[in-house]
Chains A and B, each alone.
Chain A
Amino acid sequence: DGGITQSPKYLFRKEGQNVTLSCEQNLNHDAMYWYRQDPGQGLRLIYYSQIVNDFQKGDIAEGYSVSREKKESFPLTVTSAQKNPTAFYLCASSIGRGLNEAFFGQGTRLTVV
């Protein structure tokens, strides 16, 4: 079955640590996105990539980093510079060209302890 897989589902981090959230897709999509979701805030774009080896900052990129070395993979690293990292993180992908819907993973809930 085609889809997007995010792991882990739950993640706990100590303050000062970097953590990496995994996102893998087998839909052959060119575009991939990372969103952060906080209660009452909707989804806010962190980073996006429209092609392998290229990515762009979204609206709230500070304290985050990404890579896109393979078409299927778009990992997100939450660095110690992110002041308030506790949130629900959603990865998505789309064909990238044209007005097409995005497909989402099941999300990763990150908690700083």
Chain B
Amino acid sequence: AQKITQTQPGMFVQEKEAVTLDCTYDTSDPSYGLFWYKQPSSGEMIFLIYQGSYDQQNATEGRYSLNFQKARKSANLVISASQLGDSAMYFCAMSLSGGSYIPTFGRGTSLIVHP
């Protein structure tokens, strides 16, 4: 079984500051992928960043970085220099090589960026 936990229902951040969104996971499969998606109020899910379980370095994509701590089974998303347009729901997800690669999602974190 696989499980994704996001413990922060809501987060607030000041514009231009950095924010960390927490995600922990649980799996016994050694080969897995971790994903973060953004869901603005329009509803569609936008892929942000990916981290593979065998990747040695933390993933980065522009202002997004993933703080991957394998031993602690955490995959936190860091957004640097927050912008008003970053206000949205953020979902952490996991796929397992032994689980037919089906994405499993956490409950999400609502991020609000204040001017």
Partners in one complex: yes
A70 is an interface residue with CB less than 8 A from chain B: no
Interface residues on B, range: 20 to 34
A100 is an interface residue with CB less than 8 A from chain B: yes
B11 is an interface residue with CB less than 8 A from chain A: no
| A to B contact number (C-beta, < 8 Å) | 62
The distance from the CB of B87 to the nearest CB of chain A, in whole angstroms, is: 17
B50 is an interface residue with CB less than 8 A from chain A: yes
A97 is an interface residue with CB less than 8 A from chain B: yes
The distance from the CB of A4 to the nearest CB of chain B, in whole angstroms, is: 9
- With A45-B102, A50-B100, A99-B52: A40-B107 Cβ-Cβ less than 8 Å: yes
- Chain B residues contacting A107 (CB-CB under 8 Å) are 43-44
A90:B102 contact, CB within 8 angstroms: no
A103:B47 contact, CB within 8 angstroms: yes
A85 is an interface residue with CB less than 8 A from chain B: no
A45:B104 contact, CB within 8 angstroms: yes
Q: Which residue of B lies closest to A105 (CB)?
A: B44
B97 is an interface residue with CB less than 8 A from chain A: yes
A96 is an interface residue with CB less than 8 A from chain B: yes
The distance from the CB of B49 to the nearest CB of chain A, in whole angstroms, is: 9
A64 is an interface residue with CB less than 8 A from chain B: no
B107:A41 contact, CB within 8 angstroms: yes
Scan residues 3-47 of chain B and give those whose CB is less than 8 A from a CB of chain A. 6, 9, 31-33, 35, 37, 42-47
- Chain B residues contacting A40 (CB-CB under 8 Å) are 9, 107
A-binding residues in B (CB < 8 A)? 6, 9, 31-33, 35, 37, 42-47, 50, 52, 91, 93, 95, 97, 100-108
Q: 15 A–B contact pairs at CB < 8 A? A: A33-B103, A35-B105, A40-B107, A41-B107, A42-B108, A43-B91, A88-B43, A92-B45, A97-B101, A100-B101, A101-B47, A101-B50, A103-B47, A104-B37, A107-B44
Q: Can you name 5 extra interface pairs (CB under 8 A) apart from A94-B103, A101-B47?
A: A42-B106, A43-B105, A102-B35, A102-B93, A104-B46
